[in-house]
């Protein structure tokens, strides 16, 4: 099963954390990761940054997830490396963690996300199309 993505982080329990009331230090770390993700030269570095986004997303408010992280992940869907284009998994994982949608984000899925992931159906790499196929149902449920 593709979701939820689980990671083993030493000295960190991944038991379901409630959504925090404030972002706190996680927002600072998120800003640092997002500011540097575009400048990573290696696809493996961008993948590690996506893993960090998933780990940080449990510590972010529901407002910060679509507002801050989603635009950067959408940008990575057009990466030249196929393993990075499969970031649709990270996108869906973060969106499924959002419990309350703010009015400003009410139409984020139909107006922003769907148009930006639609072309993945025709991606030349089979792995990207396969990941998109696995993610489309959970994405539709979050809409």
More confident residue, 12 or 27: 27
Residue 133: pLDDT over 90: yes
Distance of CA 62 to the CA centre of its chain: 13
Q: Look at residue 40 in the predicted model and tell me its pLDDT.
A: 92
Phi/psi of residue 41, nearest 5 degrees:
-85, -40
Q: What is d(CA 106, CA 40) in angstroms, rounded to the nearest whole number?
A: 32
Which band of pLDDT confidence, cut at 50, 70 and 90, is reported for residue 101? confident
For 9, residues 6+ apart whose C-beta sits below 8 A from its C-beta are: 55
Q: Which helix (H) or strand (E) holds 19?
A: none
Count CB atoms within 10 A of the CB of residue 117. Answer: 20
For range 30-50, the mean pLDDT: 93
Residue 2: pLDDT over 70: no
pLDDT tens figures, 43-83 = 999 999 999 999 998 889 888 899 999 999 999 999 999 99
Domain 25-142 sits in CATH at 1.25.10.10
Q: Look at residue 6 in the predicted model and tell me its pLDDT.
A: 59
Q: DSSP readout, 26-82?
A: HHHHHHHHHHHHTT--SHHHHHHHHHHHHHHHTTS-TTHIIIIIHHHHHHHTT-SSH
Distances (CA, A) of 78 to 15, 33, 84, 85, 95: 33, 18, 8, 6, 19
pTM for this model (two decimals): 0.82
């Amino acid at each position: 099963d593709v979701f939820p993505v689980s990671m083993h982080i030493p000295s960190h329990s991944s038991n379901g954390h409630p959504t925090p009331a404030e972002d706190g230090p996680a927002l600072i770390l998120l800003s640092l990761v997002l500011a540097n993700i575009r400048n990573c030269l290696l696809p493996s570095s961008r993948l590690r940054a996506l893993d960090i986004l998933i780990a940080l997303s449990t510590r972010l408010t529901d407002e910060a997830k679509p507002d801050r992280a989603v635009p950067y992940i959408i940008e990575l869907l057009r990466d030249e490396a196929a393993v990075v284009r499969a970031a649709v998994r990270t996108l869906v994982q973060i969106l499924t963690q959002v419990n309350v949608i703010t009015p400003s984000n009410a139409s984020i899925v139909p107006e922003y996300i769907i148009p930006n992931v639609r072309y993945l159906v025709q991606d030349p790499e089979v792995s990207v199309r396969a990941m998109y196929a696995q993610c489309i149902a959970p994405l539709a449920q979050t809409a």
